Amino acid sequence: TTTFEQRVLSNGPGKTGRVMVGIRGKRLRIVVTGGAGFVGSHLVDKLLGRGDSVIVIDNFFTGRKENVMHHFGNPRFELIRHDVVDPILLEVDQIYHLACPASPVHYKYNPIKTIKTNVMGTLNMLGLAKRVGARFLLTSTSEVYGDPLEHPQKETYWGNVNPIGERSCYDEGKRTAETLAMDYHRGDGVEVRIARIFNTYGPRMCIDDGRVVSNFVAQALRRLPLTVYGDGKQTRSFQYVSDLVDGLVALMENEHIGPFNLGNPGEFTMLELAEVVKETIDSSATIEFKPNTADDPHMRKPDITKAKHLLNWEPKVSLREGLPRMVTDFQKRIEEEGRKR
C-alpha cells in the first residue's frame, strides 16, 4: 500500500510534499479517535514523539483538552471536536479507533449513545479506512469475554456475555465492532487490527470515573474509605498505560490482524488491590463494603501468549511500580481542584 505521503509526492511536490524520516523511514498521518481521553492522549504523545502527524477526533464526552494541551502549537498536531457517530472526510494512513467511554459508570450513563458510538462510530471509521486505504486498529476489550467460563482468557474463547444486560451496550457493542472490522477486512480488503484491552490504569484517568483503580487512589488521597463492591474476591489484572500504548503501536505496525489480548497477567482480588493502594498511599486507610453492580465478571486475566509470540510484546510495569506514577498525577490534580473551590 502507498502512504498518503507517497500519494502526495506522486502527484508532484505539493504543500505536504516534504520527505521526512520517521521511525520506519517515512512520516505518517494518523487519526486517533478518542485521542483526548486517557489511553488516547498517551498514544498521541508517543506518535508525535516519533515524528508522525496526528489528528485527534474527540467529542469530549469523557476526554479533556488538558490531556493534549501540551501539543497545541505543534504543526503536526490537530484537534477536531467531532462525534464519530457522524461521518467525516479525511486523508490519512492509519486510524487508531479508541472513541468510546470505557468506565462502566460512563458507558451506562447513556447506553444508547454508547452502542451508537460502538456500531455507527466504528462503521464510519471503517468506511473512511476503506475510502482512503488506511490501516484501521480497533480498541476492543476483555469485556467481549463477558463473565468468562474459561480462565485465563485466550483469544480463541468466544465469551459468556449477557446480550440484554446493563453492560451489553458496551460489551455487545464492542463485539459488533469486531464483527464489522472483520467484515470490512474480508469483504472490502481493509487492513484491520483488533486489540482486546484488559483493565488499564495510569496518569490522566478521570478522577471520578468510577473505575476501581481511580476510585481507590482518589479515596485514599482524600482520606475516604476504599469502596469494595461485593465480597471483594472478584479478580482483575491491571496494566500500566505505557505498556498498552507500546502494544497498540506494535500491533498496528505488525502484519497480524488479531485479535490480540493486551493486558498484564498479574491478577489481583479487589481486596488485594485495596491493600496495594494502602501500602502505596496511606496504610491507615479503611475499607467499606458496598453492593456489587449487575453482571460483574467474577474473574479476568489475559493469556498473552499470542501477543508475546507474534508481536514480541509483553508488559514491563508491575502494579507496584505503576501505581506510584499514577498517584503523583492524581495528587497534583486533586490539590488543584481543592485550590479552585
Q: Which residues bind ligand NAD (CB under 6 A)?
A: 33-34, 36-40, 57-63, 83-85, 98-102, 106, 117, 121, 139, 141, 197, 199-200
227 contact, one of ligand NAD, ligand UDP, none, CB 5-8 Å limit per kind = ligand UDP
Instruction: Measure Cα distances from 203 to 41, 226, 333 in Å.
Output: 10, 19, 10
Give the single-character DSSP code of 135: E
Cell of 164: 440484554
Taking the complex as a whole, how short is the minimal distance between the CB of residue 22 and ligand UDP, in angstroms? 24
* 266 part of the interface to ligand UDP, by CB under 6 A: no
Tell me how far apart the alpha carbons of residues 109 and 171 are, in angstroms, rounded to a whole number. Answer: 15
What is the smallest separation between the CB atom of 9 and ligand NAD, expressed in angstroms? 31
Q: Which is nearer to ligand NAD, 141 or 219 (CB)?
A: 141
In whole angstroms, how close is the CB of 152 to ligand NAD at the nearest point?
Answer: 16
> Judged by CB under 6 A, does residue 124 bind ligand UDP?
yes
Which of ligand NAD, ligand UDP, none lies near 152, with the C-beta cut-off 5 to 8 A by kind?
Answer: none
Handedness of CA 325, 243, 96, 16 (dihedral sign): positive
Provide the minimum distance between the beta carbon of 62 and ligand NAD in the complex, in angstroms, as a whole number. Answer: 3
DSSP letter string over 272-316? Answer: HHHHHHHHHH-TT--EEEEPPPTT--S---B--HHHHHHH-----
- Please say whether the beta carbons of 220 and 285 come within 8 A: yes
Q: Which does 131 bind (CB under 5 to 8 A by kind): ligand NAD, ligand UDP, none?
A: ligand UDP
Q: Report if residue 148 touches ligand UDP, rule: CB under 6 A.
A: no
Enumerate residues 6+ apart whose C-beta is below 8 A from 1. Answer: 133, 135, 191
Q: Which does 212 bind (CB under 5 to 8 A by kind): ligand NAD, ligand UDP, none?
A: ligand UDP
Nearer to ligand UDP, 235 or 305 (CB): 235
For residues 117 and 250, which CB has a smaller minimum distance to ligand UDP in the complex? 117
Candidates 6-14, 149-157, 242-250, 290-298; binding stretch for ligand UDP (CB under 6 A)? 290-298
Specify the residue, 282 or 329, whose C-beta has the smaller distance to ligand NAD: 329
Alpha-carbon gap, residue 310 to 271, rounded angstroms = 34
Sign of the torsion angle spanned by Cα atoms 91, 245, 214, 77: negative
Q: Is 221 in the site for ligand UDP (CB under 6 A)?
A: no
DSSP notation for 206-269: -TTS--HHHHHHHHHHTT--EEEETTS--EEE-EEHHHHHHHHHHHHHSS----EEES---EEE
In the complex, minimum distance from the CB of residue 302 to ligand UDP, in angstroms, rounded to a whole number: 12
Residue 43 in the binding site for ligand UDP (CB under 6 A): no
Nearest distance in Å: CB 21, ligand NAD: 30
Q: From residue 191, give the alpha-carbon distance in Å to each of 77, 136, 173, 257.
A: 24, 6, 21, 8
User: Which option in ligand NAD, ligand UDP, none does residue 62 bind, with CB closer than 5 to 8 A by kind?
Assistant: ligand NAD
Selected range binding ligand UDP among 22-30, 57-65, 121-129, 328-336, rule: CB under 6 A: 121-129
At its nearest, how many Å lie between ligand NAD and the CB of residue 4? 22
Q: Which is nearer to ligand UDP, 2 or 74 (CB)?
A: 2
As a whole number of angstroms, the distance between CA 49 and CA 71 comes to: 10
Q: What residues does 200 pair with on adjacent strands?
A: 239
Residues recognised as catalytic:
170
Please name every residue paired with 140 in a beta bridge, in sequence order, or none if there are none. 196
Task: Tell me the one-letter amino acid at 122.
Answer: T
Q: How many angstroms separate the CA atoms of 299 and 235, rounded?
A: 5
> Alpha-carbon distance 220 to 216, whole Å?
6
Where does this chain bind ligand UDP (CB under 6 A)?
Answer: 87-89, 104, 123-124, 127-128, 130-131, 199, 211-212, 215, 227-229, 234, 236, 270, 292-293, 296
